[in-house]
Amino acid sequence: MALSIFSLVTGLYVLHFSIALILVNKEVPQTRGMLYPRESETREVRSLDGIWNFVRSDQANPTQGVRDEWYAKELSKSRPTIPMPVPASYNDITTDNLRDHVGTVWYDRKFFVPRSWSKDQRIWLRFGSVHYEAYVWINGQKVVKHEMGHLPFEAEVTDLLSYGAENRITVMCDNALIQTTVPQGRITEVPNDGGMTIVQSYTFDFFNYAGIHRSVHLYTTPRTFIEEVEVTTNLSKDATVGEVFYSVSVNGSAANEADNVLQIQANLYDKDGILVANATSDQKLGGKLQVNPVKPWWPYLMHSEPGYLYQLEIKLLATNDELLDVYRLKVGIRTLSWNSQQFLINGKPVYFRGFGRHEDSDIRGKGLDNALMVRDFNLLKWIGANAYRTSHYPYSEESMQFADEHGIMIIDECPSVDTENFSQELLGKHKSSLEQLIHRDRNHPSVVMWSIANEPRTGSVSADSYFELVANFTRSLDKTRPITAAIAVSNTQDKAGRSLDIISFNRYNAWYSNAGRLDMITQNVIDEAIAWNKRYNKPIIMSEYGADTLEGLHMQPAYVWSEEFQTEVFSRHFKAFDELRKKGWFIGEFVWNFADFKTAQSYTRVGGNKKGVFTRARQPKAAAHLLRKRYFALGRDLDQCSFPEDLFTYIADLIS
């Protein structure tokens, strides 16, 4: 018996060791450029958003369009097209079942390029995101291929365009998720009434919306141009002096000519447009700006002027002072630090009060929608939240800019969900998703933490080395922010926590475990948080808790799915959180979910996931009013914010 246990342990060790050997740290492709398209005196931006033409491939023949070269001419010459809005998911637009289509779809449209654009500049084509894989042609010529939803990509198209003439853009988009995509899924062939059909399945619950999800832009740059700007900031101990470190990469012929030394002029303006710091760097394309006195970037409700942003103007000059290029971006000056107990911003401990969210709404699915985005931020501020996690993928660049401006802290999550069946190929893609995310979001003051996965299967032996590699890779790209992952396996099984800086755990007491048992929440939450902290000696966040709630369903005493039940579930968690806050290392609570959202069809979901505090139409459920009182109470207690006048409804003179 002893021998067999010994050989079992040895076997596991060998397995672990061999997996560690198999998973090697291969290089991932490095993203270049991709600055958010902004106009300036040297740059023009043009939107290609609008109604495009659309064709779905036959599900059984997804590569036919490529073989038959549908991109060589207008799509309508190959197949009848239908109109399709961009940006939007295509799934919920039509009345037939495009919703459940698996495989490739095609988009095209025409656009005009002015004659003036032919003069001595470069033209770039940029997609905010296409889910999941995109192939792009301009006038029948292949331009770029990109894998990974929710992240931008671009390519230079200067030599492919006709100037002063009409042009055509064609996009093929593939929504198939397999075991080596991020996130993972499975494609199976199963019999149906018509013979055989292809079925897409995945373990996560949010619907796999697809299409051209974010804006498509053409933009111009000079021949020699500012390709990248990276910014980090610092504050003096007393928070009166700020420092902005910038480094710039330049692309173009002038950058390579030794005799044409370039200069970077950096100007920093405050909110009123007053120049507060400037510097000109000789030879090296980077430097430091000092701001004295500084207005630091603070989260919402932690300061009377949250989300303070400066404007950084980067000018690229040739030696003769000729202005080659100008790019402007917003900068928030703040510091982040963390230890085994706390997470601090500008030296002050932070307690997160927030949400897990989704980019999801009726009809447009995951398509960028400015009206929805502004409404969501109004609701976040109304309810007194100071943070959210971009569960379970990167959100739009526009929403990141909005969070900067409104002082909402972001735990920025890559698209790795329910990660399992760890392989070298998956590791490469997972790392690439983080590389693309960090490259895109590194300059946002609102981004305070990277989440490297949601509910990965971290109980398995191979998770140990896998997550060590993923976490170390993330750290190699950004040392200024801590790393977390939302973990769902038990703390005794988990193998990823040792590689993280902050432990986040998801748990559904009284829902997925002990359904309906309100008396089995508070102590379980306290015990589990303590166990996580004991095991890893790191700050702890509860990153998901909640209960599905059908708006308008009322039951007293509280019963699952009713508004009373959701309210009670929250209240029992609040009790646990207050107990845990006293311990010093419990640093945040995130409700699941901000709003109801669409899921794949299943018998556990009635019209989608209903754990929203708001409905899918962004109206509050009863629990929203309770949560609002708590988030503002925490804000007043911890950050001395004041209460909104309508927080408490008048009841009687007897109650205050």
Which residues lie near ligand GCB (CB under 6 A)?
Answer: 204-205, 392, 454-455, 488, 506, 544, 592, 609, 611
What are the C-alpha distances in Å from 367 to residues 121, 175, 200, 391?
A: 31, 15, 21, 16
| Closest to ligand GCB by CB, 205 or 589 | 205
d(CA 81, CA 190): 29
Nearest-approach distance from CB 609 to ligand GCB, in angstroms: 5
DSSP code for 608? S
d(CA 351, CA 627): 15
d(CA 615, CA 630): 20
**Angle at 479 (CA atoms; ends 477, 480), nearest 5 degrees:** 120
Strands across the sheet with 263-269, in order? 275-282, 263-269, 310-317, 323-331
| Closest to ligand GCB by CB, 402 or 570 | 570
Nearest-approach distance from CB 485 to ligand GCB, in angstroms: 11
| Closest to ligand GCB by CB, 330 or 611 | 611
DSSP code for 57? P
Residue/partner pairs of 290-294 with CB below 8 Å, 24 or more apart: 290/241, 290/242, 290/243, 291/241, 291/242, 291/243, 291/244, 291/333, 292/240, 292/241, 292/242, 293/240, 293/241, 294/235, 294/239, 294/240, 294/241, 294/242, 294/333
Nearest-approach distance from CB 504 to ligand GCB, in angstroms: 11
| Closest to ligand GCB by CB, 498 or 605 | 605
d(CA 229, CA 87): 27
Strand partners, 263: 282, 317
> Under a CB-based contact definition with an 8 Å cutoff, are residues 403 and 308 in contact?
no
Nearest-approach distance from CB 104 to ligand GCB, in angstroms: 27
| Residue 191, both tokens | 């019999």
Nearest-approach distance from CB 186 to ligand GCB, in angstroms: 18
Nearest-approach distance from CB 188 to ligand GCB, in angstroms: 22
The secondary structure of 381-435 as a DSSP string is HHHT--EEE-TTS---HHHHHHHHHHT-EEEEE-S-BS--S--HHHHHHHHHHHH
What are the C-alpha distances in Å from 233 to residues 46, 229, 249?
A: 32, 13, 18
Candidates 338, 351, 335, 374; CA nearest to 301 is: 351
| Closest to ligand GCB by CB, 233 or 543 | 543
Nearest-approach distance from CB 368 to ligand GCB, in angstroms: 21
| Closest to ligand GCB by CB, 204 or 355 | 204
Nearest-approach distance from CB 507 to ligand GCB, in angstroms: 8
Nearest-approach distance from CB 561 to ligand GCB, in angstroms: 13
> Under a CB-based contact definition with an 8 Å cutoff, are residues 254 and 294 in contact?
no
| Closest to ligand GCB by CB, 301 or 485 | 485
Active site amino acids: 455
| Closest to ligand GCB by CB, 173 or 624 | 624
> Under a CB-based contact definition with an 8 Å cutoff, are residues 505 and 492 in contact?
no
d(CA 310, CA 409): 17
